[in-house]
Amino acid sequence: MMQAQGRPHATKAPLDDSGLPTFEASGGDWDQIAAEIAELGEERIVVNMGPQHPSTHGVLRLMLEIDGETVTEARCGIGYLHTGIEKNMEFRTWTQGVTFCTRMDYLAPFFQETAYCLAVERLLGVADDVPERAQVIRVFLMELNRVASHLVCLGTGGNEMGATTVMTISFTAREEILRIFEMITGLRMNHAFVRPGGVAQDVPAGLSQEFARVEVEVRKYLKQLSDLMLANPIFTSRLKGTGHLSLAGAMALGVTGPVLRSAGLPYDVRKANPYCGYETYDFDVPTSTDADAYARVVLRLEECYQSLKIAAQCIERLEKSTGDPVMIADKKIAWPAQLAIGTDGMGNSLDHIKEIMGESMEALIHHFKLVTEGFRVPTGQVFQTVEHPRGELGAHIVSDGGTRPYRAHFRDPSFNNLQAVALMCEGGQVADVVVAVASLDPVLGGVDR
């Protein structure tokens, strides 16, 4: 009945299913469907999973051909969250671009912002002029963001297997980190805080104390998570040996990040090609050789501890450099707005408004030109990579010498890593598909951009 042309495929012509029996599951009716399928006596069926399925990490669509309980073919369908962010960036100034790329992988916004800003700074030729304090703030935000992102990965991964407590603990811990983000940037997500030339604003007073409190909390939750997961016989039997991806397979498919390191290669852009001064921080890159979903959980937990270690070093440096600039000195690039907390929330500081509106015509002109027109970036192209929680994130930025990016392309690790789904799932159990996809940790906002 299922001929070769009828196999599920993301890319082929629509399946001619006239004459094929089809079933639509709407929840709670699985027994009835199973009984009807059993009547047909057909072992091979095609299951369309998603794009609206709670265990596909958002809007991922999986097309599975299953023979009994065995997956014989697994294909991904993506594009359901494509919003044209790259195209939109070509119609905004270089500074406004940050507002767009932060929304790509919404669980790791600071990584897109930083990759983009580092690329723009290199095109401008000012990469070495960015203040040290701004780089420390970037590293601090990125490392806390890595912890938050890994916590979502572990939490949703656990939830998809039915372990709701793993999810509640992870999200409670993430909430603590989001509080720090809100304290620094004013927002929990979509911050647009890293800007070409530095960061939008200095960190507020009291950050050290807040971080000290949050670090203790997050470490406590991480301990709870490892206690709950790592020695749990159900958890281990479910994850060990599942979603295997060998080193050769990972390299051929360009899979990076924790999935590559779980196969034994200690490749981390922070070590291999440091940016933002990562070469001056003390941290380790954990690896494993088991190459399965369990090893990736262990690695992600360990990476959380390493990230907290880096964040603590950042706090030390921030305390030493209090009062230093956080934006490049070149006034042709530095955004003129000085932010301050007012009675109605965050806005331009009254001192700055007083200067441009009442004291200096030139300051007003400068402010107006830089905000509306923006700055020009010399012609050329740059590829800047950073170590994203999910792998190597690359920003390919092209300038034609104008006030807008000519082309901005992001090599998102989730997009690339999803190619490994077929290799990790085919030949395995259908229930293991969920575990394998969760161990890749795709975020569809980044996949589709």
Partner 1 sequence: MTDDATPDDVTPGGITPGGDIGAAPTDPGHRKPLEVVDVRTGMFGVQGSGDTSGYGGLVHPVTMAYASPRPYGGWYDEAVDILAEVLAEAGVSFDAAINGVLVDPPFATSKYSELTLHVAPEHLVAVCQALRDDQDLRFELSLGVSGVHYPGDVGRELHAVYHLTSITHSRSLRLEVSVPDGDPHIPSTTTVYPTNDWHERETWDFFGIIFDGHPALARIEMPDDWPGHPQRKDYPLGGIPVEYKGATVPPPDQRRSYS
Q: Which residues contact 28 (CB under 8 A, 6 or more apart)?
A: none
Per CB under 8 A, which region of 40-48, 75-83, 172-180, 218-226 contacts partner 1? 75-83
CA 366/CA 20 separation, integer angstroms: 68
The least distance separating partner 1 from the CB of residue 309, rounded to whole angstroms, comes to 24
Nearest to 121 by CA among 213, 192, 195, 40: 195
224 contacts partner 1 (rule: CB under 8 A): no
273 contacts partner 1 (rule: CB under 8 A): yes
Packing angle, helices 293-320 and 430-440, rounded to 10: 20
301 contacts partner 1 (rule: CB under 8 A): no
User: Which own/partner contact pairs does 281-289 have at CB distance under 8 Å and 24+ positions apart?
Assistant: 281/139, 281/310, 281/313, 282/309, 282/313, 283/307, 283/309, 283/310, 285/261, 286/261, 287/261, 287/262, 288/261, 288/262, 288/263, 288/264, 289/263, 289/264
82 contacts partner 1 (rule: CB under 8 A): yes
The least distance separating partner 1 from the CB of residue 8, rounded to whole angstroms, comes to 13
User: Which own/partner contact pairs does 199-204 have at CB distance under 8 Å and 24+ positions apart?
Assistant: 199/134, 199/137, 199/138, 199/326, 199/327, 200/335, 200/339, 201/326, 201/339, 202/133, 202/137, 202/326, 203/137, 203/140, 203/318
Task: Indicate if the alpha-carbon torsion angle 18, 20, 21, 25 is positive or negative.
Answer: negative
Which residue, 173 or 192, has its beta carbon nearer to partner 1?
A: 192
Which residue, 68 or 401, has its beta carbon nearer to partner 1?
A: 401
The least distance separating partner 1 from the CB of residue 210, rounded to whole angstroms, comes to 35
Near partner 1 by CB under 8 A: residue from 99, 190, 236, 419: 419
Map residues 250-269 to x or -, x wherever contact with partner 1 holds by CB under 8 A. Answer: -xxxxxx--------x-x--
Element spanning 340, H or E: strand 339-342
Q: Which residues contact 4 (CB under 8 A, 6 or more apart)?
A: none
Near partner 1 by CB under 8 A: residue from 103, 138, 174, 411: 411
Which residue, 50 or 158, has its beta carbon nearer to partner 1?
A: 50
| Whether 422 contacts 104, CB under 8 Å | no
The pair of structure tokens assigned to 49 is 């999973």
272 contacts partner 1 (rule: CB under 8 A): yes
Q: Which residues contact 112 (CB under 8 A, 6 or more apart)?
A: 101, 102, 104, 105, 393, 395, 410, 446
99 contacts partner 1 (rule: CB under 8 A): no
Q: Which residues contact 203 (CB under 8 A, 6 or more apart)?
A: 137, 140, 184, 318
Near partner 1 by CB under 8 A: residue from 156, 159, 201, 385: 385
The least distance separating partner 1 from the CB of residue 115, rounded to whole angstroms, comes to 12
Which residue, 186 or 402, has its beta carbon nearer to partner 1?
A: 402
Which residue, 209 or 280, has its beta carbon nearer to partner 1?
A: 280
The least distance separating partner 1 from the CB of residue 292, rounded to whole angstroms, comes to 21
30 contacts partner 1 (rule: CB under 8 A): no
Near partner 1 by CB under 8 A: residue from 42, 316, 330, 373: 373
12 contacts partner 1 (rule: CB under 8 A): yes
The least distance separating partner 1 from the CB of residue 392, rounded to whole angstroms, comes to 6
Tally the C-alpha atoms within 13 A of residue 228's C-alpha that lie toward its C-beta.
Answer: 19
Per CB under 8 A, which region of 36-44, 90-98, 223-231, 426-434 contacts partner 1? 90-98
The least distance separating partner 1 from the CB of residue 139, rounded to whole angstroms, comes to 19
The least distance separating partner 1 from the CB of residue 85, rounded to whole angstroms, comes to 11
Q: Summarize as ranges the residues that interact with partner 1 (CB under 8 A).
A: 9-12, 14, 78-79, 82, 84, 86-88, 90-92, 122, 125, 127, 251-256, 265, 267, 272-273, 372-374, 376, 378-383, 385, 392, 394, 396, 398, 400-404, 406-407, 409, 411, 415-416, 418-419, 448-449
